[in-house]
Amino acid sequence: MSTTGAGPTVTDVVAELERRYPPVWAEEWDRVGLVLGEPSAPVRRVLCVVDVVPETVAEALDAAVDMIVAHHPLLLRGVSSVAPTTYKGRIVHQLIRAGVALYVAHTNADVAAPGVSDALAARFGLTGLRPLRPAAPGSPAYGPGRGFGRVGELPSPMTLAELTRHAAAVLPATSWGVRAAGDPGRTVRTLAVSGGSGDAFLGDATAAGADALLTADLRHHPAGEHLAADGAALLDAAHWATERPWLDDLAALLRETTGVETLVSDLDTDPWTVHASTPAVDDKEPRP
């Protein structure tokens, strides 16, 4: 923490974030860390968001925050211009003009323990947590409990249909809701969860002995082939909804370690805005 007596600076907040979520734990393709901001600038108020989009930037400016801590990188892929006439350039200019720092913790927060999927698992009361895909030995993130996703036991067994309705009730509300694939009557005792895009972990869920996997962004062919091979049942939620729970843990960390007033954005930044079910097929029979 700062020893100047003037309160924490951007450098101080970054230090606490990187103590819990070291950037070296991030995947090689990821872009994490301080994106914008003067390191010596004071930080009195922080806003935690999943996505850095015009709506959350406006929320930050309205709340007069000094720093945004985001899960998703603003500049994940290379850009050749940050002119204010471009989508991302406009955001960069707004934040710089307002003196708002921007920090990103992405896959380094995914693999941390506790991390993004621990917060998701807590929504279901899972016990006996272990990583869905443990960090590989020799990797920077290797260590007790660290890795992508979590697997645990539900407080009591549910059918897949019951679990799907329960998931829709305990996760942040979105127009997407939650859809499931598999036998609606299948009993689920062991649940795997992975915040964000998770169809890379279908095989991991089955190998871990999970009865079902809840994640986001599942695709038609991988899901169908997984189920055809008698894999775990699948629950597909909105991407934002599976990662929003972590913001509460992130905010608690910053309040405890820096003393900074920390706000959490509840703006639903999932791009899907309308959902309609085909009549009479909400719970269709699974394929033989």
Domain chopping of the chain, boundaries: 10-106+244-264, 109-242
- Residues 241-276 as b or e (16 or more Cβ within 10 Å = b): bbbbbbbebbbebbeebbebbbbebeebbbeeeeee
Asked if 186 and 168 touch (Cβ cutoff 8 Å), the reply is no
Report pLDDT for 6: 72
Report pLDDT for 288: 59
110 annotated ligand binder? yes
Task: Taking the CA atoms of 62, 66, 72 and 78 in sequence, report the sign of the dihedral they define.
Answer: positive
12 CB-near residues (< 8 Å, 6+ apart): 1, 2, 43, 258
* Same fold: 10-106+244-264 with 109-242: yes
Nearest to 232 by CA among 187, 196, 195: 187
Q: What is the CATH number of domain 10-106+244-264?
A: 3.40.1390.30
Superfamily (CATH) of domain 109-242: NIF3 (NGG1p interacting factor 3)-like (3.40.1390.30)
239 annotated ligand binder? yes
Mean pLDDT by 10 residues, the chain (288 residues): 69 99 98 98 99 99 99 92 94 98 99 99 99 98 98 99 98 96 98 98 98 98 97 98 99 98 98 85 61
Q: Which two tokens stand for residue 241?
A: 């909804």
Angle of helix 54-62 relative to helix 87-98, nearest 10 degrees, comes to: 10
Report pLDDT for 279: 76
Report pLDDT for 287: 60
Report pLDDT for 1: 47
106 annotated ligand binder? no
